[in-house]
Structures are given as C-alpha cells and as structure tokens.
Structure 1
C-alpha cells in the first residue's frame, strides 16, 4: 500500500521531530513510531502505533500499510483494508487529511483482489474518489493510476486516460509526465503534437523516467538524430536495477523495463550500424542481449521491425 510517511503524514503533523527536539521536548507518540518506521525498525514502529491507534488516525493509517504489506508483522491484508475503511468512513476531522490516501489504497486492494474480492469497478470508484477531479491536494498517485487504468483494454478510454495523466502530470507525477509525452507523440486521447511530445519526454527523461527515455531514444532514432539517440540510450541503460529505479522514481517497474529494453535495442542498432557512434559488433550483441533480458516482447517487436527494414 501507499505509505504516506514520505510526505503527507509528517507534513500534516503539528510540528516536525526536528522542531520538537530543538526545544528539548519529547517526540509525540506518533512521531516516535514514525521515526522507527522510517529507519526500517518495523516491529518497534508497530508496537508504538498499536498503542495509540484508537486515538491517532495517522497511526491507524500506518498500521493499515504495515499489515497489508507485512512490515514488522505477518501479512494481514484484511486487517489493512479494515483500517483504511475506518479512516475513509470516519466523520472525525482528524481523519480528513488521510482520506484521499486511504481511498487510493483501498482501490489498489480491490484491483489486486488482496484483502477483498477483486473488482475493477470498485477500484475505479475508489480511485476517482481519491483523485478528486485532479485536486492537487488529493491523491496524485490515484490520478496517475486512473490514467493507466483507462489505457488498458478492460476500461479503454484514451480521452479519460489523457485527462487523468494531464492532471497528475501538472500535479508533479513523474510517471504521467512520460505518459503524456507518449500520448502526444502518437495522438492517443488527444491530437498528435510532436513539439509537446518532445517537451514532455525530455522533462520526464531529465527526472529519471526510463520509460520516457526509451521513447525519446526511439523518437531521435526514427528522426535520424543518431548521436542523440545513442547518448540518451547509454544513460537509460546505465543501471540494470529496475526495482531500485522504481523505488527512486515511484514509476512502475514493468514500464521501466520496457523503456530500458527499447533504449538497449536502439543502442545495439546504433553500435551494429555505426549510427551516431563507432561500430562495435561485440557491444551491439551485449545490448541486444540486454534488451531481450529486460523485456522479451519489446525486443522481439523491435527485432521484427529491424528485419523488415522499418528501423
């Protein structure tokens, strides 16, 4: 589940632990548990949150995350869902700043069928609640997730996908910045606009979105800007740890792998043919192999295009 400790919980606290300690005051019970949580001492954090969960909604929220994901305790997704429902359905003003995040997490639980019966319809409803029509103070993650949901065959509606990626993008979501660039590039849910596509792909690339980097490499390669294609591809393939990159960028690992595979394949093509870089058959083979390892489907599709003379 989405952990709010990275931003919202501490931001919503009346004071930070730093300010509290500067005055010599003891940290609040929640912040004491939160410190253990952030340092990875989940069992200690769990004990402290359990003590105050009936009077502190932030502690209840963190417990929901911990039970759902099995942090410091055995996985208990039903219990995690229970806590998120309590927050979402509470009339207490102290729960209000957590409701968007709770709705996002409940939507994820329904989509995954974990702790509740699988239901795409219920996931969609909860994510729409969490997204709050693009409110920047709502769940930006839910806004981006809706963009991805409406891009999938089950609920495919590219205009809705473009709407939600636009909202999330302008609210700072990195994954949606890349998605928006791709949608402009191919005219998905909006009019095709190469200038806007390039602008958003570059922005997303600069911030570390590997999926956007892969598409930017393709854009440069098909436009015969081979030196630029090779340079961006080298950066996109420099780190093979997709899971680590996913945590750093908060982008889905599946899409990061696809982007890295695209970049690796086009870099191999440049090395094989001496386009934008010096010919190097051995290095080309290495990057073809890397593309296949990262995403066999993407590599196979690009191989077919190369054999047909399309790239």
Structure 2
C-alpha cells in the first residue's frame, strides 16, 4: 500500500474498503467509516442516507436519511451528479411511505419520474418499475402509463416488470390482450425466478386444463417458501412474491385433492391449502 501516498489515493482506497465492508453486511464498521468521510465523499453520504433510513448498523433515523438524500439531490458538485437519480428514487420512496417526511404520493411520483428518466442506470430501472407499480394502484390508476413504464423497465432487464407485463398482456390491461406475448413474458420471468409470474402461469395452465403442467410448475414454486429470501434474490416486492406462492399452493392443492395431473393425495392437499392461508 506504499504507493497510496496522495490524499486522493488514500480516499479512493478508504472508500473501496468501506464499501466492501458494507457489501459484506458489516454495517456497524461501515457506518463508522462512512461518518469519517461523509463531508468530502458524496458516495459515503449516500450510503449513510440508506443506512439511517433502513436502520442498517444503527437505529432507524429516516429524517437523517432524507436529509442526506436531499443534500445530494440539491448539490451543484460534479461529484454528486452520478448519485442524484439514486437519491431521487430513495426520496420518492420516503414520500410514498411517509417515513422521514410527510406522505405525498404526488411528490413520490415527481421524484420517481426524475429518477426514471436518465442518470444512474440502476436507479433509473428501479424507478421505472416502481412507476409501473404505482400507476397500477387504484389511488392513481393509469394502466396505459403502467404498461409504458413496465415496458421500459423490462427492456432494461427488470425482472419484476417482466412478470407484470406478462399479466397485463394476458388480461389486456393498459394494452391489447395478447396471449402469445403474455406467455413469452411470463415464461421468461418465471425461468429467472419471478414467483408472481410462476403463480400466474400455474393458474393459466390449470384453468385451461393443462393439469400436469400446472402441478409441475406449482411443485417447483413450493420447493422454497422463504418469501423474504426470494424477494431479496429476485429484487421483487415480498407482497407479490407471497401472492404468487399462494396461487401456486392453491392450484397444487386442487390438483392433489382431485387427482388432476398428479396422484391424488388428500393429506398433501390439506397441507398446501394451509399454506395458501399462511401466504395470503
């Protein structure tokens, strides 16, 4: 490490070490080190904002998290530029949840539109998918906008939006009904681990009397029922993961109860019916 003699070189090295600690879940150590350099390093300020908002390595302090995100968003420094869109996404989340600020769906929408347009690719894609979900909700329902933003996010590789697009095509929500496009989206999303898409595929196969396919897909879904872990792995909202798992459990129970596409087993059917209640 002898060659890291300049202040700039040391700061870069320090940042790498601290970010590594954060990525390894060593949050308390990372928090301590981020605090030391936050006044000269916008990346450290951003990470602190996330940590205080979510309570990683420290007690939750959402107001402080919001303060750091606002500093980044309002900064004129070129070093903050690449973080502005990620900060806008997180501030939108704070306004939507009413955590650290007064709740405002309108302000959340405005900030997510800012984040979705350009800038940091990951923040933009997450914001695009989030807007797709927002415009699907009754409070601001606009299914054409939902379809537009899910399409953008899907084109950029977002797994959650790929599943959502499949469902919109399947039922003609915000677009013309297109079963072929729906199945293509749902199957791709399902192959990549989207449980919501898998649950809808099970339902599609069952209602069309493809019982063997329905039972086979449902069994694969039920091999792992740790909702929070699956949500983290796939970056999909736990609510939708749970809904997909509940759908798979219900149709698997039906197949087992009636001997459709699988050997009849009343005891196993009852077990899966109980899982529907757990995940609903």
TM-score range normalised by the length of the shorter chain = over 0.9
Report what 1:268 is aligned to. 253
- How far off is 1:233 after superposition? 0.3
2:251 match: secondary structure:
helix
Could you give the per-residue CA deviations for residues 267-296 of structure 1, whole angstroms, max 9, x where no partner exists?
Answer: 11111111111111111111111111110x
Report what 1:170 is aligned to. 155
What are structure 2's unaligned runs of at least 5 residues? none
Report what 1:35 is aligned to. 20
Alignment of 1:113-192 (within 5 A): 113-132=98-117, 139-192=124-177
Report what 2:93 is aligned to. 108
Size of the alignment, in residue pairs? 272
Q: Where does structure 1 differ by over 4 angstroms across 4 or more consecutive aligned residues?
A: 133-138
Pick the aligned partner of 2:279 from 288, 294, 299.
294
Pick the aligned partner of 2:36 from 16, 35, 51.
51
1:245 match: secondary structure:
helix
- In 2, the alpha carbon distance for the partners of 1:272 and 1:47 equals 56
Pick the aligned partner of 1:250 from 235, 250, 263.
235
Deviates more, 1:51-60 or 1:32-41: 32-41
Pick the aligned partner of 1:279 from 259, 264, 279.
264
Pick the aligned partner of 1:84 from 49, 53, 69.
69
- In 2, the alpha carbon distance for the partners of 1:58 and 1:135 equals 13
- Asked if 1 retains the 8 angstrom alpha-carbon contact of 2:231 and 2:241, the reply is yes
- In 2, the alpha carbon distance for the partners of 1:38 and 1:291 equals 35
Report what 1:5 is aligned to. none
Report what 1:6 is aligned to. none
Q: TM-score, normalised by structure 1?
A: 0.84
Report what 1:299 is aligned to. none
- In 2, the alpha carbon distance for the partners of 1:228 and 1:249 equals 23
Deviates more, 1:120-129 or 1:279-288: 279-288
- How far off is 1:136 after superposition? 5.0
Q: TM-score, normalised by structure 2?
A: 0.94
Report what 2:213 is aligned to. 228
Could you give the per-residue CA deviations for residues 236-295 of structure 1, whole angstroms, max 9, x where no partner exists?
Answer: 111111011111111011111111000110011111111111111111111111111110
Could you give the per-residue CA deviations for residues 27-76 of structure 1, whole angstroms, max 9, x where no partner exists?
Answer: 61111211211222212111211111111110110010111111122211
Pick the aligned partner of 1:207 from 180, 185, 192.
192
- In 1, the alpha carbon distance for the partners of 2:128 and 2:218 equals 29
- How far off is 1:135 after superposition? 8.8
- In 2, the alpha carbon distance for the partners of 1:70 and 1:100 equals 22
- In 2, the alpha carbon distance for the partners of 1:176 and 1:137 equals 14
- Asked if 2 retains the 8 angstrom alpha-carbon contact of 1:213 and 1:232, the reply is yes
- Asked if 1 retains the 8 angstrom alpha-carbon contact of 2:250 and 2:273, the reply is yes
What are structure 1's unaligned runs of at least 5 residues? 1-19, 296-311
